[in-house]
Amino acid sequence: MKNKLLNRLKRAICGVGALTICFSLFSFTSKDLVKKDTVVNNNFKLRTVIIDPGHGAKPDNAPPGHYSRGADGSFSNERSVTLAIALKLQQAIEKDLPGVKAVLTRSTEEDVSFERRAQIANENKGNLFISIHCNSLADRFVRQKVGTRRGRAIYRSVRVPDRSGRGALMLVYGLHRSREEQNAIKNNQLEDDSDLNGDGLDPNDPTVIILTDAYMRKFRKQSVNIANLINDEIVGTDGRRSEGLREQGIYVLCHSAMPSVLVETGYINNPNDEEYLNSENGQTEIVNSIVRAITKYKAQFEQVAAK
């Protein structure tokens, strides 16, 4: 057992030692990212993709947890659009990627708490987590002249919708929530490892700390990579606008012990984007772009693992 653990530790250290990556808050690049990533399980196979349709209708008498109703457009809502895209994506993955299972965190309009979504992902031993959302901008306040009094203009603040946002956006988890990611990895990667199982993980054990860090670096790199691949497909193949990649402290991303990305498919409160997101053509384009990206991701990492 000890020798197995030391060998595993050596592989992790060798992989992590060569990696020094700086991430900017709003922009990431992934060219040649996979070529340099040596923190790869030599037996890696992409077997399970977790698809997370954002938000949903809060269930009656829902247990305590984090819920969010999502954004609304002029004639549609986020929970319905994301579910429609997710169901199509599940079918497309299982059709176009033989041997890959796609698991939904929800399959009805009823919402699932953030905690349960991450739990579903980890229970199903997902290799990749893709959360589907619709973006929206908050209303803004403008000063509006409402009259005059004694020769002086009278103004008031008026709330008006901000429909200026358009296009896609990719989000990866913020580094300020690294501790939560570490805990998820310890609970769902290391504890299930055959070399460690049964020993009872000591969070202060240097071996556990180093292995956790190795997984976290690997997942971070792979999250950025899949986000870039999806973004490239949406922009390069579909010709859509994208705001690129950003990091954000999103619960389901940092609590899922696997590479993860949140795809903001478009701005539902922008009339043109809303039409696109609700159209058969628009949903099919989004799904096909994600599937092409996953196909490239799978080929990249399985090719590296085979070497």
Identify the pLDDT of residue 20: 32
Token pair listed for 205? 């054990």
Could you tell me whether strands 140-149 and 101-104 are parallel, antiparallel, or unpaired per DSSP bridges?
Answer: unpaired
Chunked mean pLDDT (size 10), the chain, 307 residues: 46 39 39 44 82 87 75 95 98 97 96 91 94 93 80 82 94 67 52 46 51 70 95 98 91 84 98 98 98 96 67
Task: Give the residue extent of every domain in the chain.
Answer: 2-137+168-306
Distance (Å, rounded) from C-alpha 84 to C-alpha 195? 41
Under CATH, what is the fold of the domain 2-137+168-306?
Answer: Aminopeptidase (3.40.630)
| Buried b / exposed e along 266-284 (16+ C-beta atoms within 10 A) | bbbbbeebbebbbeeebbe
Q: What's the token pair of residue 194?
A: 């055959």
pLDDT of residue 136: 95
Q: Cα torsion at 93, 97, 98, 100 (round to 10°)?
A: -60
Q: Are residues 12 and 209 in contact, defined by beta-carbon separation less than 8 angstroms? A: no
